[in-house]
Amino acid sequence: MPTPVSSIRNLGPAMEEACSRAGIGSAEELRALGADETYRRLLEAGTRPHFIGFYVIEMGLQGRPWNDCKGKEKDALRRRFDAIVARSRESGLTEMERFLDQIGTGLRR
């Protein structure tokens, strides 16, 4: 029997529901995917980007309290998060939107 996502430290019912929407049905699957791929799938399923959401997954997979990471380690996590969000946005853009973003006019809303 699969272990619930909420059995991972820091992850509660809301994250379990978000993971379910993203097709991640167990703690074992989330662990196998890792924080980066899990978060990419959450974004793809419609979860709004939020650094703390990514952060708690990473800390939970390490068995650490959600607020345990500081300094350079947290800065490195932020860079990973920003890269995941950027790739997610790029993959959902039309060619015209990518071009407009590249020339600095921003994304159409």
| Cβ–Cβ under 8 Å, residues 77 and 55 | yes
Class of domain 5-102: mainly alpha
At 65-107, the pLDDT tens digits run: 999 999 999 999 999 999 999 888 766 655 566 566 667 666 5
pLDDT tens for each residue of 10-68: 999 999 999 999 999 999 999 999 999 999 999 988 898 999 999 999 999 999 999 99
Does the reported pTM lie above 0.85?
Answer: no
pLDDT for position 18:
96
Q: What are the boundaries of each domain within the chain?
A: 5-102
Residues 6+ apart with CB under 8 A from 100: 106, 107, 108
Q: Residue 39: is it exposed, middle or buried by C-beta count within 10 angstroms (0-12/13-18/19+)?
A: buried
Half-sphere exposure of 68 (CA within 13 A, CB side): 13
Residues 61 and 75 sit within 8 Å (Cβ to Cβ): no
